[in-house]
Structure 1
């Protein structure tokens, strides 16, 4: 997987050590002698290069944060700036406001000139000091603006839609012959980015969500036939639900997008929930927002401004279905429904994610200063790597129902075989 470089690297790096472009990380490190040999993907190892494409004293960089909130955004902004400013001595760093919309000067928001004083304490706050938005921007107008402002490097911090937008910026700049380094930092609380073992914000989300699940358990056991029902993030992947379930150990039913389930019938979810209530008089259920979408009546799919399919509200659907079912069974239940999604995603990063954010950001700066473009920083086998944007945007990561992770969920909940 070769990475595009803007041109010859002529400037000596101020960093005291360097990594060779020849060092590669394989996608798969498991060797199965029984499987036929095949060509494996390998990726450039991230890190500082001995020579730079950009002269730091004449370089201007920009940062943009896009999409939904995620713990660690401010940490990434801060570490990007500090590495550019202190380690490389870059002339100026601009923070574009309001997501990709901020690349269009017509929206009226001037970018922020970042300084050590501005970023001093931002890592202690949730959200993003630059603001965010969903949806695209006119690419021609955005590149015009970047050229006009003398931007040599743009860091795009966001999910798959953001990185697709970064690829368009890269392609448009290349078409015009403008040397613009576009480097993405992958952001999604769902942890569903390919070639990234763990995205920043995920562990904070798991930690915050597990506390919510513990509180839901407290509510459920405090009343007769109490049911705690919690909906968490996870449009296409159930990693947050799985992680929080195993961390909490108080969940009885975990429902993920990757594992279809049936509501009705003797082996369905509602029958299993009834058995739990009859024998234990309480239950805790956690469901990912993208689970059970096949249970809704088929109609026109709606999309958000980022182009993602908007999931129907499985949390409210389950609450109504459970209420109706137990009423028909003449079993009184008390349901406590909790949706903490916006609280979880707006939290400040915990220490584990803070460290990860810092390493993602510094890896991105090293790549950009070396003139590498059209890439996203990946993270595999405990190493940071360079992934072409087009490749990353073409894949999604999801949980394997036969994986160790899902087996751990089944062991923690005791739910066994999924409901069919």
Structure 2
């Protein structure tokens, strides 16, 4: 006999029993009794079954045969928050098209400039989103709804939802947005209202827990590859050339790691999860220059913060502000080489804002469409306090509380980082001038 599941609690909250027949036709409905396994290693599953433990798993995302909301009466809202990311417009478009085309819902309000647009004192008149209005928005970057950072009073937001009759709110954003969505749900519960909140995770850094890939990440890596290629050209065309590229990655080095693997010319990759010193970095770079005549260095924006003096402060979303590691290394690396008696030619590239503002590539556009549809199906089934994501290439429901419980980081003992070390040839320890990797 099995016991309760071991590991995280992935139980999803809902507003109540689903008593309305879905209007969808020609659709394969999800078997609500099935789960996507959290752990997939055979030996782990065998150990759990032998111990009488029911393995943890996620709900499948997708259309339900019976739903909670009556499509003829429900009114929906969409809000985008936080920094820009490729695919935001694709998600908005997907949600609107699914609501209208699949459920016949034509009352969809787009709230302007993040959660501030849901607060009376800051509110801008919502946009009525129709299929015609959003039909071409996926061709450009950014978000037609605008965005902003920073928390807003959950009580004021719920006041607005009640006043406008919004029963289903879709929030698109990162961990700060998810925390805000969770606060809205708690206020809704306190008032005993039938308002569902469904989140679509937006993080170009790919750092939300229990979600294997977030939209915008693939586009970011593709664009980062263009930057590393430019750095290679600049570095290889100069004596003792160094191409230094700063990429996004506030606390997690996924973009930098994948960019390094996408371009085998990268000689050193620096991520927030691995400490380094300037001496250790320069020693590794010097070895690469001695071998090839040049080196390309990729650094995530959150790497090496311990090297930079300055007070710690928070941005509007509650994230720790990082000092500019890129400009620091731009100056520190040549100086360190000069101290060794070597002159280098360093070219510095920071494509961050160019990448954030791009439209989604084909792979991300596909993911955005699927996530938008999954969010609609979850909301119409009365799911709330939930974020839609993907796990083992299956779309899933994740409790927001779990998604924000920790930040996903690169496992330095895992396959990804070990492959980076193998491809770049850099030492595992960049804190020392002695090669130990």
Query: Which bracket does the TM-score occupy, shorter chain normalised?
Result: over 0.9
Q: Shift of residue 278 of structure 1?
A: 3.5
Aligned residue in 1 for 2:393: 382
For structure 1, the residue ranges without an aligned partner over 5 or more in a row are none
Q: Which residue of 2 aligns with 1:396?
A: 407
Equivalent residue, structure 2, for 1:285: 297
The equivalent of 2:235 in structure 1 is: 220
The alignment's C-alpha RMSD in Å is 1.4
Mapped contact 2:116–2:123 kept (Cα < 8 A): no
- Aligned pairs for 1:75-90 within 5 A: 75-90=90-105
Q: CA deviation at 1:35?
A: 5.5
* Larger deviation, residues 273-282 vs 283-292: 273-282
Q: CA deviation at 1:39?
A: 5.1
Contact 2:284 2:427 in 1 (8 A): no
Write out per-residue CA displacement over residues 358-407 of structure 1, whole angstroms, 9 at most, x where no aligned residue. 11110010000011111111210111111111111112211111111112
Select the residue among 16, 19, 22 that pairs with 1:7. 16
- Which stretch has the larger CA shift, 39-48 or 191-200? 39-48
SS of the residue corresponding to residue 57 of structure 1 reads coil
Q: Which residue of 2 aligns with 1:242?
A: 257
CA distance in 2, matches of 1:236, 1:153: 32
Partner of 2:330: 319
Moved more, 16-25 or 104-113: 16-25
Question: Matches of 1:278 and 1:252 in 2, distance apart?
Answer: 12
Between the aligned partners of 2:145 and 2:265, the Cα distance in structure 1 is: 38
Note if 1:209 corresponds to 2:224. Answer: yes
Q: Following TM superposition, by how much is the alpha carbon of 1:262 offset from its aligned partner in structure 2, in angstroms?
A: 2.3
Write the distance in 2 (CA, Å) between the matches of 1:395 and 1:174: 24
- In structure 2, distance between residues paired with 1:404 and 1:372: 35
Residue 435 of structure 2 aligns with which residue? none
Match of 1:163 in 2: 178
Q: Return the offset for 1:108.
A: 4.2
| Residue aligning to 1:66 | 81
Q: What secondary structure sits across from 2:72 in the alignment? A: helix
Structure 1 residue 130: deviation in Å? 0.5
Q: Which of 380, 384, 387 is the aligned partner of 1:373?
A: 384
Shift of 1:330: 2.5
2: CA distance between counterparts of 1:306 and 1:179?
28
> Gaps spanning 5+ residues in structure 2: where?
1-9, 432-437
Partner residue in 2 for 1:230: 245
Structure 1 distance, partners of 2:300, 2:258, is 12
Q: Is the 1:235–1:290 contact (alpha carbons within 8 Å) kept by the matching residues of 2?
A: yes
2:282 corresponds to 1:270: yes
Distance in 2 of aligned mates of 1:174 and 1:231: 43
1:287-323: CA deviations, max 9, x gaps? 00111112223x5311110000111111111111112
Determine the structure 1 residue equivalent to 2:362: 351
Aligned twin of 1:342: 353
State the partner residue of 1:414: 425
CA separation of 1:379 and 1:108: change in aligned 2, threshold 3 A: closer
Map Cα deviations across residues 89-125 of structure 1 (whole Å, 9 max, x no partner): 1140011010111111322411100012210110111
Deviating 4+ runs (over 3 angstroms): 33-40
C-alpha separation between the residues in 1 aligned to 2:316 and 2:123? 20
Would the aligned equivalents of 1:58 and 1:91 in 2 still touch at CA under 8 Å? no
Distance 2:385 2:428 in 1: 43
Alignment of 1:191-202 (within 5 A): 191-202=206-217
Equivalent-residue separation in structure 1 for 2:92 and 2:106 (angstroms): 17
Q: CA deviation at 1:409?
A: 1.1
* Cα displacement string for residues 19-76 of structure 1 (whole angstroms, at most 9, x for unaligned residues): 1321111210112269674553221111111111111111110000000111100000
CA distance in 1, matches of 2:283, 2:110: 53
CA contact under 8 A between 1:257 and 1:290: conserved in structure 2? yes
SS in 2 for 1:308: coil
2:337 and 2:272 map into 1 onto residues whose CA distance is 25
In structure 2, C-alpha distance between the alignment counterparts of 1:139 and 1:227, rounded to whole Å: 49
Number of equivalences: 416
